[in-house]
Amino acid sequence: MAAELTLTDVNLRFGGIRVLTEVGFAVAPGQIFGLVGPNGAGKTSLFNCISGHYRPSSGSITIDGVEVLGTAPATLARHGLARTFQHPALRLGATVLENVLLGAHTRLPGGPIEWSLRLRHLTRSERELRTEALELLDRNHLGWAANRRVDELSHGLHKGIELCRALLSRPKLLLLDEPAAGLPHSEVEQLIETVRRVRAEEDITVVIVEHHMGLIAALTDRVVVLDHGRKLMDGTAAEAQSDPRVIEAYIGNDAVDDAA
């Protein structure tokens, strides 16, 4: 069941430096929501607040009405939140399948003692998750690489592997941090189709941080634009691209090229 995400007056400071100032917005269940802005706007910092990697100085972050501000990432994962990173955090010496299976840690029954004893019902769960992971890789055109080491594969494939790992946790809320970064045009087009399909098949809410305005325009239902840690505007991607404040904020930044 797709989750609702609501931020209210989120503030973040590092010492005397104000990183985020009273940022607030709501993401409806099932939306694909974009978080955009020039370099240094505070996008990744806000993502880190939502995913529990940073603790905001004040404000409120709720998932389906439950306050999660300051909640640890592992606990958020059990509440249905999954995240990818701009630079995929994969075990390079392990296989693709082994990396994807790491996404199932919140779904495994029992604890370390039970797993060390290799109890029958636990090994059955392991087999079922392995089958599910292989099916997920097949649906995302990565089945052929299941037994390949990750360090043998391209950066673009690393992004797909990390997405599969996130999806294996069966999230209600999926955060994608610059999924198009470093991808050629053909792979960006494939990414757009993948995210559309995932939203339809998995019934999840997706929030994307991205510089690639073509992807944002093609995918999102709504966007929030940040500038210097403040919300600059909230609307559709088309409205953002024609907003004089947004155009001014992007002047001199690489993202202007993407918006053209």
| Chain segment 193-203, per-residue pLDDT in tens | 899 988 888 88
> Which range of residues forms the domain containing residue 220?
1-80+172-260
Instruction: Check whether residue 180 and residue 232 sit in a common domain.
Output: yes
Instruction: Flag whether 250 is in a domain.
Output: yes
pLDDT at 105: 76
Note whether 71 and 10 are same-domain residues.
Answer: yes
Residues 166 and 101 in one domain: yes
Q: Residue 202: inside a domain, yes or no?
A: yes
Q: Tell me if 36 sits within 8 A of 250, measured CB to CB.
A: no
In a domain, 42, yes or no: yes
Residue 109 is predicted with a pLDDT of 60
Higher-scoring residue by pLDDT: 239, 213: 239
57 inside domain: yes
Integer CA distances (angstroms), 108 to 62, 69, 91, 118, 121, in order? 26, 26, 20, 13, 11
Q: Is the domain of 240 the same as that of 129? A: no
- Averaged pLDDT score across all residues of the chain: 87
Same domain, 54 and 103: no
Residues 37, 40, 43, 46: what is their CA dihedral angle, to the nearest 10 degrees? -140
Query: Terminus-to-terminus CA distance in the chain, angstroms?
Result: 36
Token readout for 144 is 């052929």
Q: Are residues 48 and 37 in the same domain?
A: yes
Residue 158 sits in the same domain as residue 193: no
Stated as kind and residue range, the H or E segment containing 208 is: strand 205-209
Please tell me whether residues 125 and 207 are part of one structural domain. no
Can you give the pLDDT at residue 259?
39
In a domain, 85, yes or no: no
Banded pLDDT at 117 (limits 50, 70, 90): very low
Q: Are residues 24 and 72 in the same domain?
A: yes
Domain count, the chain: 2
Domain for residue 160, yes or no? Answer: yes
Whether residue 248 has pLDDT greater than 90: no
Q: Are residues 181 and 67 in the same domain?
A: yes
Q: In this structure, are 115 and 158 located in the same domain?
A: yes
Q: pLDDT by residue (tens digit) across 123-158?
A: 777 888 889 999 999 998 999 999 999 999 988 899
Residues 198 and 237 in one domain: yes
> pTM to 2 decimals?
0.87
Q: Six-digit token pair at 254?
A: 């690489």
